[in-house]
Amino acid sequence: MPVEMPWISEASTIVQAFFGGNETGNAIADVLFGKINPSSKLPVTFPAKLEDFPSHEGFGQAIDTIYNEGIKVGYRYFDRAGGPRSLFPFGFGLSYTEFRFGNLTVKPTADYGASVEVDVTNVGQVAGGEAVQVYVHDVSARVERPEVELKGFTKVFLEPGETKRAKVSLDVRFNSFAHTLRTHSLT
């Protein structure tokens, strides 16, 4: 789970390892010594302080725990206009190389979904993987919706100097823009 890191300004390096197993020590050593390029993204949001979580006041009571954050869970709460800034946002991750995105296209599909494509180029000197994450914002919801919602992702692995076209398909059944697309496509 995410933790508070009041000491972060004193640390030169932080390595986060989730889901450890028998080879966790070897895997971390491979990352620290540059044998393997870390190419992961955080599956949670790390707060600057625990009080920043909207559930903080109702969580951990002796008898009852009240989850009162509603739809504002994790990344859906942090880093929005007027909200607290996260220490490390959901989807954050560093690498020993750098990636550049370009030539973004978004096209509707016949089934009212969408296809999002982007060129990803490894502009660094080390092979690595990069996750392409697609977030949407519902502009016409009749109920409260998060400011942004992750709706799809894919990962590409690239050698230095290599470019690949990444594609993320957004299925209308799983997207908050389904009603809007149907309404605009039928009229």
- The Cβ of residue 47 has, within 10 Å, a number of other Cβ atoms equal to 22
Buried-state track 121-132, b at ≥16 Cβ within 10 A, e below 16: bbebeebbbbbb
pTM of the model: 0.80
Cα–Cα distance between 56 and 165 in angstroms, integer?
42
Q: Mean pLDDT, the chain, as a whole number? A: 84
Domains, the chain, with CATH or none: 1-94 (no CATH), 99-186 (2.60.40.10)
Q: pLDDT tens digits, residue range 71-123? A: 877 788 887 778 888 899 888 888 899 999 999 999 998 888 889 999 999 99
| Residue whose tokens read 């590409």 | 156
- What tokens were used for 119? 């060129």
Contacts of 43 (CB under 8 A, 6+ apart): 18, 90
